[in-house]
Amino acid sequence: MKFIKYLLVGILFGIVMTKSEAVSWFRIQEMFRFESFHMYGIIGTAVILGAILVATIKKVHGHTITGEQIKFNPKAMSIPRYLIGGTIFGLGWAMTGACPGPMFTLLGQGVWSILLVIVSAVIGTFVYGVLRPKLPH
Amino acid sequence: MIELISQPWHWAISGTMIVFVMFLLLWFGGEFGVSSNLRTLCAIGGAGKKYDFFNFNWKDQIWNLVFIAGAIIGGYIAINYLGSPEPVQISQATRTYLQSVGIHVPQTLAEGNGYVPSEIFGHPFSPINLFMLTIGGFLVGFGARYAGGCTSGHAISGLSNLQIPSLIAVIGFFIGGLTMAWLILPNLLTL
């Protein structure tokens, strides 16, 4: 069944998120207070290696496991949506210490109160969808 | 082997493993971007009937839902079978600051594993905590979709693809994060 592979990568992701401590509320405070290199090391390493990976895939015309060309969709340039949206996201990220990936990982860890955050996040996404036509993009 | 993996991972290992996850997702025909799942959940709930943003074939996104289901399992496995021998080691400066606003950073596993503060997550229904968890979650969900991505989608995937929009998003993440961490949270926590 084609979804098994996604489940396995997801499990790996949950393990990585936990062992990297990127899901730790404490680590996020530390990051935004510039009191440790840890989170910057993780993201920095990921971006550098990720850039090499993406460039390589483009160069060799990499294909997916089912034979399709791996495509990267460039994003339309805009400032308002990315800056305003990003700022709103950042406020929430620092307040809860969790962005979406960590939210689900923490649930698996048994942090039940993260369900409040997840449900609120879904509601937040819903409200965005409702207000979208009226927001600057 | 288990003991080795159970040590807290060096940031270079973590960063590398995240890219490996991104590679696998791309190879499988997907992409690394977790916040779109929030949109999918809304679509499954029927939001697409009334609002355009959610009017898409969510079945195309099942792979991503399976991915985060995996993340839940992965979190479970890591905490229960690959647990570190000591709590998350937070810098002295952060510990001192947090102590000043009433949050204790666990120093022994008996005190906690150091992932989330029990003062907040262990008492989620006390007024300030409830406010932080719900409003905070709301801001993440609203902001991530407004920006079209979160840390995985923009900071990792977007920057790897050298996307200027993602750089702007990440700048936004930091404007928000710094404002919250320095200006708002210290006051909120001492209310």
Residue A1, pLDDT score: 82
Q: Decide: A120 and A92 in contact? Cβ < 8 Å.
A: no
What's the angle, vertex CA B84, arms to CA B9 and CA B15, rounded to 5?
Answer: 15
Taking the CA of residue A22 and the nearest CA in chain B, the distance in Å comes to: 9
Q: Return d(Cα A133, Cα B191) in angstroms, integer.
A: 37
Residue B18, pLDDT score: 98
Q: Do B137 and A121 touch (CB under 8 A)?
A: yes
Over residues B54-110, the pLDDT tens digits come to 999 999 999 999 999 999 999 999 999 999 999 999 999 999 999 999 999 999 999
Taking the CA of residue B127 and the nearest CA in chain A, the distance in Å comes to: 13
**Percentage of chain B modeled with pLDDT above 70:** 100
Average pLDDT for chain B: 97
* pTM of the full structure: 0.97
Residue A98, pLDDT score: 97
Q: Using CB atoms and an 8 Å cut-off, which of residues 89-108 of chain B contact chain A?
A: 90-91, 93-94, 97-98, 105
Q: Which ipTM was obtained for this model?
A: 0.97
Over residues B138-148, the pLDDT tens digits come to 999 999 999 99
Q: CA torsion angle for B66, B72, B74, B75 (degrees, to 10)? A: 160
Q: Using CB atoms and an 8 Å cut-off, which of residues 6-35 of chain B contact chain A?
A: 8-9, 11-30, 34-35
